[in-house]
Chain A
Amino acid sequence: MGSKMKSNMSKSKYIWYLFVVIGVAISCKKPYNPAIVSSDNHYLVVEGVINSGNDSTIINLSRTVKLSEDVSTQIVTNYTVVIEGEQGGNYALQSEGNGRYDIGPMHLDASKKYRLHITTPEGKQYVSDYVEVKQTPPIDSIGFTPKNNYLQIYANTHDATNNTRYYRWDYSEAWRFHTKFQSSFIVDGGAVRGRRADESIYYCYASDKSSNIVLGSSEKLTQDVIFQTPINTIASNSEKLELRYSILLKQYALTKDGYQFWENMKKNTEQLGSIFDAQPTQLQGNIHNMSDPTEPVIGYVSVTNVQSKRIYINKGQLPNDWIEKYPYDCGMADSAFFSHPKTGSNDVLYYIIQGGGIAVDAIYGPFGILGYTYSSSGCTDCTIRGKVKKPSFWIDN
């Protein structure tokens, strides 16, 4: 909580700062891309948690890239990754490609210490410090509170033994949504026909993962209690809240050192820019090159059993006046006729069959279909940003 207080503090400072500045309408924030002499080195980046419980362990390996490069990471393959117990016991991880190395549940002895040992194809050896196994207590509950123009999602947890103290969370979200217009027709073999139920592109599911570092600590409290710690906020007009939203929260216990590493990374990469924020500092993890301790290695390996919990939030649980803002500008659906009343051109052919417009509804005349209303794929096709197939975990209400 001490550090949480601090982080709250600097956030508040930031907000305060912003409001003064916005208040007088005098500040501005502009993109800035200085010419930076990037390091030619590609430093090793190790991310992952050694799962001591009954779930699999995933370690992702990559290397840093220059700022100017288009890709944000460089994936490394053919490394050897082994989890080693201080008192013996080795667990070799499988390479799954894409820099991902994993192993099934290991059920590690919580009284022992473990480390990660990485060997590159060139024979370079990287090891982490031996780390104690921290037990993660279960998540007590996940709650949400509608605020003025956003939804605050928070979590509660506690450790009756007062041993955990430092927590980190990450989450994955999923939500069901629909497009602006429901397309009832489809182009099939150069003609427009009725859309079958299995061809529907109106309802979809989308998902996302947390990109912010979420930390909490009860260090300053008499009991190891985390009460309504903020996890995520969703804007009130977000499409995520349109129908049904779900969040899967994962909770990780951290050692004090591990907490400091994450807090430092958060400060360096998420909390800069205001007057009162700390200056960026070097990041010190717990992984080292065995033969060159000065070589920067990014990452902190901790060992814990991961706890998780999922909740769902329905539209009906939220304020009535929260209306989603559709991400595309759709307006009214356009009309396309087989024979335009003035020009006589075949707009159905031009705009729907050849032009890629998606037919929404038929326009009926006294003698049958005169044409179709149509719109862009952004306004009619949910698959451009989601999947029609329901995720395996999804439970309808």
Chain B
Amino acid sequence: MKKIYFLSFCFLVLVKLCFAQQNTAVSISVNFHQATIGQFVTELEAKTGYHFYYNPIQFDSLKISVEVNNKPIETVLDLAFKNTDFHYAITSQHQIFLTRGREIQIRLPAGFFENKPGTTPSITNQSKSVSTNAAVADFTDEKEKKVPEATTENKLYEIGIKTNTIQPGKATLSGYVRDGKSGESVVGASIYVTNTKTGVATDQFGYFTIVLPKGRQILSVRGIGMRDTRRQIILYSDGKLIIEMQEQVTSLKEVKISAEKVANVRNVQLGVNRLDIKSIKQVPTVFGEADVLRVVLTLPGVQSVGEATTGFNVRGGSADQNLILLNDATIYNPAHFFGFFSAFNPDIVKDIELYKSSIPEKFGGRLSSVLDITDREGNKKKFTGSAGIGLITSRLNVEGPIIKDKTSFIFGGRITYSDWLLKLLPEEYKHSQASFYDLNLDISHQIDDKNNLYLTSYLSHDQFKLNSDTAYSYSNRNINIKWKHNFNDKLFSLITTGIDRYQYNIASFDNPVNAYKLNFDINQTNLKADFTYYLNRKNTVDFGVSTIYYKLHPGNFQPNDVKSLVAPDVVPAQQALESAAYLGDKYDITDDLSLSAGIRYSLYNYLGPQTVYNYAPNLPKTSSNFLDSTTYSKNKVIKTYSGPEFRLSARYNLGDNTSVKAGYNTLRQYIHLLSNTTAIAPTDVWQLSDPNIKPQYGDQVSLGLYRNFKENTIETSVEVYYKRLRDYLDYRSGANLVLNHHIENDVLGTQGKAYGIEFLIKKTTGKANGWISYTYSRTFLRQDNINEGELINGGAYYPANFDKPHDFNFIGNYRFSHRFSVSLNVTYSTGRPITLPIAKYEYGGSERVLYSDRNTYRIPDYFRSDFSMNIEGNHKIHQRTHNSFTLGVYNLTGRQNAYSAYFTQQAGIISGFKLSIFAKPIPFINYNIRF
């Protein structure tokens, strides 16, 4: 194409040199009836003195009938080619080019001399083009013609089959948004159409589809980490467009919390936060390595019980009520090193999306939130990679094409070398070991325009052995395959199948008589089909089905030494099938009012083989109320739970940059994490719902107000919510959860309620950027059913472990130059509730304390600030490697935040203690290299 431009340019310049500009309007009269092109051209050339250029083969079927009196040549040509596929272009040198299918551009696009301001095109535009910029013709054969790759802002791209006049009505534009450099799809890029004030965001494959009025449109395109751009199109009929965006190379530390600047206001969904890896990477963390989960904790409505914990709590939900998906694979343990690191490699992760309220109907199975983590696609054009070195971990990632522009891979690995740290410890800890690694390998393949295949896999492994005689290890293993198929511009499907596994084992070996090993694992096989149908401009329909087969081995306890007297103890495997079908519609009722309504019907079957205990009705499920047991054979449906889940949200625009939204959703959860510790321990067990353990049920109503200021560079929002939980599991006093064959004897179903208000102010661009969030929220649980068992706190509501009413976060970045930026992070929250003793006494040779009501006190408030500096090497694009340093200080003020407060006896005297983690300022440094 470029060659053609260049040749035409030379040609036209030459022409200009030879002829003086003459612009005469000649009026003629003609009368053709079923004339061939030859007759037509010959007569016009004779009457006007213009010279015609055309390809006779293209015109051999054309018959021209036109009658005019004393009209300019343009009128004659207009009438002659009206409603045909033929076009003409007239130069100032009295040349007329006739073409079929597309128009010749006789003038260079306005932006052609972008780099040389002042140069004006010398050829006067006499084209029929309605635009200020001439349409770009494509001279390749129609059959070979690909979907246009729109790379330039100032070109006018034609979409669909061209007609002489724009037909009234609407047409569908679909296509992909890609990174011009790597060919990777840009997820969540927003395409906003200025004329109609409508917009759409690309899906996880960079795909979009939008229905627009035919005619000339300007598309504003914005993507995370990409330079904002626009595309000019003329839409004639349904068609496709590939938009290539350029990476924001120069602004290294731009914070973009949301891809869509307007989207936070325009989107129908509430309670959704999207973060890309760039904003994640600039939040200071304890060991200097970017940490996905730690940044999630700075979002409004997200809390944790303390530092170095695995779980997080969203809007009053417990940690197991979050569905954590890595490329659609369920991750059961998202942490390494007991929560000191998150399990996700920051070099591979592309972005994360957290759904707190409007959970799309395609997701289900957890009550509180969905954390959707997406890996990058490998670079489709060239091999690249990066490496990072930190105090405790190192990372490497490599990516590149397998088949250029079609197939690519990305591989990432992390490993720790923390043992050197342990060697520095006092003798009693010196012989401990702790290590972890994780590996990601993703392959994406484009079969053709309509079919894509994706393979994603993940493996993580943690192990540690203490000076004591016990060794622990745990591992996540996930693999899945996705097939994306576009039936047409309006309907596409995504079929995913995969296997997820989480396992841990504990082994003890020093005491030969007691030596044991304990294994736990959970396996799920997933199959799901998701469809999206762009019904029309006002409706987008999602529907699909999914099924998960669970196989869970709750505990396998075996001797670990020939001398061991340990009796093998195997808690029988549990199996279940969780299926769902869903249908949802996003309906733009008017330009200002949109509604998203979805229903998901979930069906859960607890399957044999299994022996289930039956208990006397309306009495606590304890061994004393045991009646008898029933044994079921393999694959026999033992118990079925089912019910609809509703997902509703609506948005009403109050002007261009303000909107209100409301939502209601219900969810069901069939799998439970059993943990009576404050934080999730890697050795906690999961449990499937069975006849004695009901599924959890939750619903939430929320309302939000959104407003953007300063041309959408400052986003603000306020959201309120009220949530109810039913059959959430709490534990009887002294519950034993490990190797428990009848877990129903040790758990209690409780009711919960949570409410709160969340404020968020974000500045997304500029030298200074970041966000401030404040949340006021409360979470209460209650066990008031005497038939369930012991009443907790006399049956009154009591605060949940993670009830922290006030929560404030500030994340700020300031870019001094392209090579130097600083970040500051400030966090404040109310201390979490604890149970403190009310009295003391002597027993067993020591002072002891008596605990009473649960969670009636709080540990002191939490405050922390972190600071980091990012120093980049030079920014020449063409150099072998790009280097950067991150250094900073975690817990700048060195405040000794209480992790826990507790009373324990030492040498017979009871005393209170406050334990702090990271109680001093911790400096860190990280070196990163990109190649």
Contacts and interface: CB of A to CB of B under 8 A. Distances in A.
Interface of A: 1-6, 8-9, 11-13, 15-34, 36-39, 41-43, 45, 47, 62-67, 69, 72-73, 148-149, 170, 209-213, 218, 220-223, 225, 227-228, 260, 262-265, 267-284, 296, 298-299
B427 A283 contact: no
Given A62-B841, A298-B843, A211 B908 contact: yes
A16 B464 contact: yes
A275 B899 contact: yes
Contacts of A222: 565-567
Given A1-B514, A275-B678, A148 B842 contact: no
B57 to A, nearest CB: 79
B912 A148 contact: no
Which of A220, A228, A275: most chain B Cβ within 10 A?
A: A275
A262 B678 CA distance: 22
A263 B738 CA distance: 15
B411 interface: no
Contacts of A27: 915-919
Given A29-B914, A34-B901, A284-B733, A11 B566 contact: no
B677 A225 contact: no
A62 B839 CA distance: 13
Contact of B911 (A15, A31, A149, A267): A31
A11 B739 CA distance: 18
B428 A148 contact: yes
A3 B917 CA distance: 29
Contacts, number: 267
Given A1-B566, A211-B907, A273-B913, A26 B425 contact: no
B846 A212 contact: yes
B516 interface: yes
A38 to B, nearest CB: 6
Nearest to A33: B912
A36 B918 contact: no
B862 interface: no
20 contacts: A1-B566, A23-B424, A30-B913, A31-B914, A34-B901, A34-B912, A47-B844, A63-B841, A64-B839, A67-B838, A148-B427, A170-B844, A212-B846, A220-B739, A227-B513, A265-B843, A269-B848, A269-B849, A275-B338, A284-B733
Contacts of B912: 31-34
B516 to A, nearest CB: 7
A193 B907 CA distance: 40
Contact of A260 (B421, B432, B734, B852): B734
Contacts of B434: 16, 20
Contact of A281 (B514, B683, B734): B734
Contacts of A227: 511-514, 565
Contact of B922 (A26, A72, A212): A26
Nearest to B308: A275
A278 B801 CA distance: 12
B468 interface: yes
B844 A211 contact: yes
A265 B844 contact: yes
A46 B739 CA distance: 32
B676 interface: yes
Which of B427, B857, B904, B922: most chain A Cβ within 10 A?
A: B904
Contacts of A210: 844-845
A41 B898 CA distance: 30
A13 to B, nearest CB: 7
Contacts of B836: 34, 36
A73 B842 contact: yes
Contacts of A279: 676-678, 801, 835, 854
Contacts of B801: 279
B677 A275 contact: yes
B826 interface: no
B913 A72 contact: no
Given A20-B340, A220-B569, A268 B896 contact: no
Nearest to A39: B838
B919 A19 contact: no
Contacts of A149: 427-428
A213 B844 contact: yes
A121 to B, nearest CB: 20
Contact of B508 (A8, A38, A62): A8
Given A23-B422, A281-B851, A73 B513 contact: no
Contacts of B677: 275-279
A273 B922 contact: no
Given A23-B422, A26-B918, A282 B839 contact: no
Contact of B432 (A16, A268, A278): A16
B676 A38 contact: no
B429 A19 contact: yes
A3 B854 CA distance: 24
Interface string B301-321: 000001011000000000000
B849 A28 contact: no
Given A31-B913, A284-B733, 15 more contacts: A2-B736, A5-B514, A12-B466, A16-B338, A19-B425, A27-B915, A30-B916, A67-B839, A67-B840, A73-B842, A211-B908, A267-B734, A276-B681, A280-B837, A281-B851
B920 interface: yes
B566 A221 contact: yes
B123 interface: no
Contacts of B527: none
B920 A268 contact: no
Contacts of A9: 470, 506, 683, 738
B850 A298 contact: yes
B574 interface: no
B117 interface: no
A26 B733 contact: no
Contacts of B915: 27-29, 273-274
Nearest to B844: A213
A369 to B, nearest CB: 44
B842 A62 contact: yes
* List of 9 A-B pairs having minimum Cβ-Cβ separation, nearest first: A227-B513, A32-B914, A281-B733, A19-B429, A64-B839, A211-B908, A272-B902, A211-B846, A264-B734
B839 A41 contact: yes
Contacts of B910: 72, 269
Contacts of A274: 900, 915
B432 A45 contact: no
Contact of A298 (B306, B678, B841, B904): B841
A6 to B, nearest CB: 6
Nearest to A150: B428
A19 B845 contact: no
A123 to B, nearest CB: 23
Given A29-B914, A29-B915, A32-B901, A5 B516 contact: yes
Nearest to A299: B843
Interface string B444-464: 000000000000000000001
B423 to A, nearest CB: 9
Interface in B871-914: 896, 898-905, 907-914
Nearest to A294: B794
A22 B676 contact: no
B733 A16 contact: no
A6 B308 CA distance: 22
B797 interface: no
A284 B901 CA distance: 23
A220 B470 contact: no
Given A36-B838, A38-B839, A282-B851, A269 B918 contact: no
Given A1-B514, A45-B842, A6 B857 contact: no
A68 B903 CA distance: 13
Nearest to A16: B466
A203 to B, nearest CB: 25
Contact of B422 (A17, A19, A264): A19
Nearest to A213: B844
Nearest to B734: A264
A210 B904 CA distance: 15
Contacts of B338: 16-17, 20, 275-276
